[in-house]
């Protein structure tokens, strides 16, 4: 039986990537930077994890743009704009997410987050969608700004496991991307893969389970731990 569930955030808990793209583009426009990322641009840029890293990659590819120091400042402005968008309630949780979180809490199964995004983004999404403080729901939250190497490195999942004080074999991770899948598996976790709008079509063949979203039947280990709740089985 599973001892804890560890969730990615962007694309896994909610389809947040359009909100991120919008926040980036509005920040570029407000700061007079002649960049405008299309959906196709952003799909490709998502192969690089981390917002600052994406901006640096784009700058290097197009041959002009802000310095590394300016990118760090831009990212702070972008994060503030993203938090505003999320706080407005425009982005709901993906199907089945709230039900699984609620059932796990009722069953006493610890929950955790392991994400490349930074902590303010996590807090904004959880407050807007679940109307509770994140620390009251999740036993451990590991964010991208707390580790040296972001996904596909396993660091953020290892940090979450350390904070849970549980072995990887006792936990199951939830991801939506190839980078996240590699990260979770690198930490020794089994993975439920739910492709998102920006990751569909990826190679998820190594995932332990692939389902469209969390409203579909879950792995038996999870259902057993939840008492096979009809709401999510």
Domain boundary assignment for the chain: 4-15+92-226, 16-88
Q: Tell me the pLDDT of the chain averaged across its residues.
A: 95
Edge-first strand order for the sheet with 140-142 is: 140-142, 111-114, 4-7, 171-175, 190-193, 209-210
Instruction: Report the percentage of the chain scoring pLDDT > 90.
Output: 96
Q: How confident is residue 1, by pLDDT bands cut at 50, 70 and 90?
A: confident
pLDDT at 233: 45
Indicate if the pLDDT at residue 72 is higher than 70.
yes
For residue range 119-158, what is the model confidence (pLDDT) as tens digits?
A: 999 999 999 999 999 999 999 999 999 999 999 999 999 9
Q: What is the mean pLDDT of residues 158-174?
A: 98
Q: What is the mean pLDDT of residues 89-99?
A: 97
pLDDT at 227: 86
pLDDT at 164: 98
Indicate if the pLDDT at residue 229 is higher than 80.
no
Q: Of 116, 137, 100, 126, whose CA–CA distance to 214 is shortest?
A: 100
Q: What is the mean pLDDT of residues 79-100?
A: 97
> Cα–Cα distance between 204 and 195 in angstroms, integer?
9
Enzyme catalytic residues: 8, 10
Q: What is the mean pLDDT of residues 65-84?
A: 97
Indicate if the pLDDT at residue 61 is higher than 60.
yes
pLDDT at 231: 45
What tokens appear for 211 in the block?
């389902």
Indicate if the pLDDT at residue 115 is higher than 80.
yes
Indicate if the pLDDT at residue 230 is higher than 70.
no
Q: Of 6, 47, 3, whose CA–CA distance to 174 is shortest?
A: 6
CATH assignment of 16-88? 1.10.150.240
Q: Of 218, 189, 170, 167, whose CA–CA distance to 1 is shortest?
A: 170
Helix (H) / strand (E) containing 209 = strand 209-210
Say which CATH superfamily domain 4-15+92-226 falls into: HAD superfamily/HAD-like (3.40.50.1000)
């Amino acid at each position: 039986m599973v001892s804890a569930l560890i969730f990615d955030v962007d694309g896994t808990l909610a389809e947040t990537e359009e909100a991120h793209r919008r926040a980036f583009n509005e920040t570029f426009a407000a700061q007079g930077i002649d960049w405008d990322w299309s959906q196709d641009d952003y799909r490709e840029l998502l192969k690089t994890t981390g917002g600052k890293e994406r901006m640096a990659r784009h700058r290097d590819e197009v041959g002009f743009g802000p310095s590394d120091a300016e990118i760090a400042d831009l990212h702070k402005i972008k994060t503030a704009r993203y938090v505003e968008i999320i706080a407005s309630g425009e982005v709901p949780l993906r199907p089945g997410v709230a039900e699984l979180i609620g059932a796990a809490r009722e069953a006493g199964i610890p929950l955790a987050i392991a994400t490349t995004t930074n902590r303010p983004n996590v807090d904004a999404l959880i407050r807007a969608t679940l109307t509770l403080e994140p620390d009251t729901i999740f036993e451990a939250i590991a964010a991208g700004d707390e580790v040296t190497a972001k996904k596909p490195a396993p660091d953020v999942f290892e940090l979450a496991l350390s904070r849970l004080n549980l072995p990887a074999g006792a936990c199951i991770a939830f991801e939506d991307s190839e980078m996240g899948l590699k990260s979770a598996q690198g930490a020794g976790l089994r993975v439920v893969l739910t492709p998102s709008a920006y990751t569909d079509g990826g190679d998820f063949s190594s995932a332990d389970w692939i389902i469209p979203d969390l409203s579909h039947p879950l792995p038996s280990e999870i259902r057993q731990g939840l008492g096979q709740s009809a709401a999510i089985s």
